[in-house]
Amino acid sequence: MEKTVKSGKLILAAGLMAAPLAAPAADMPDWIKMPTYDCKACHAIDHKLVGPAWQDVANKYKGDAKAEAMLMQKVKKGGKGNWDKVTGGVAMPPHPNISDADLKKVLDFELSLAK
Ligand code: HEC
């Protein structure tokens, strides 16, 4: 008689993929493309879509320690005014459903794009 050994569980240690630091920052990382975020509908890393390029946003607020808190509110509540010259006065819609933690993660990424 043959005995089949069943392994109880197959544990896949997927882990967190390290961000490819060397790659050109031309595209948003996959986690920002999750349905939770609609950012990519209006933003790209290095060119304007409906909203300003995230690199431009990062450059604008470079060195401003208070920027992230302000931008959290801005993304949550939506609004316009800071990029009218780029967007022609289009407003960003509010994002009330993204948690502070998730939003901070996105903005950390965004603000890291400053050149
Ligand atoms: C429907 C289009 C749209 C979507 C979706 C969108 N944005 Fe925007 N975003 C804009 C526009 C338009 C502006 C310019 C606002 C202004 O002139 O102040 C903007 C501006 C910004 C700014 C700069 C704000 C400032 O005051 O300088 C940040 C940061 C930003 N968006 C982040 C995000 C993030 C993060 C998401 C996803 C959670 C997102 N946006 C989704 C259209 C959008």
Q: Which of 20-24, 45-49, 86-90 has the lowest mean pLDDT?
A: 20-24
Does 108 have pLDDT greater than 60? yes
The pLDDT assigned to 22 comes to: 46
Q: Which atom of ligand 1 is nearest to the CA of 70?
A: 26
The pLDDT assigned to 5 comes to: 55
Domains of the chain: 30-111 (1.10.760.10)
Ligand 1 centroid to residue 8 C-alpha, Å = 48
Q: Which atom of ligand 1 is nearest to the CA of 98?
A: 38
CA–CA gap between residue 112 and residue 68 (Å, rounded): 11
Question: What confidence tens digit (pLDDT) does each residue in 49-103 have?
Answer: 999 999 999 999 999 999 999 999 999 999 999 999 999 999 999 999 999 999 9
DSSP 22-57: TS-S-S--GGGGSTT--HHHHB-SSSBSSSPPHHHH
47 is written with which tokens?
Answer: 């060119």
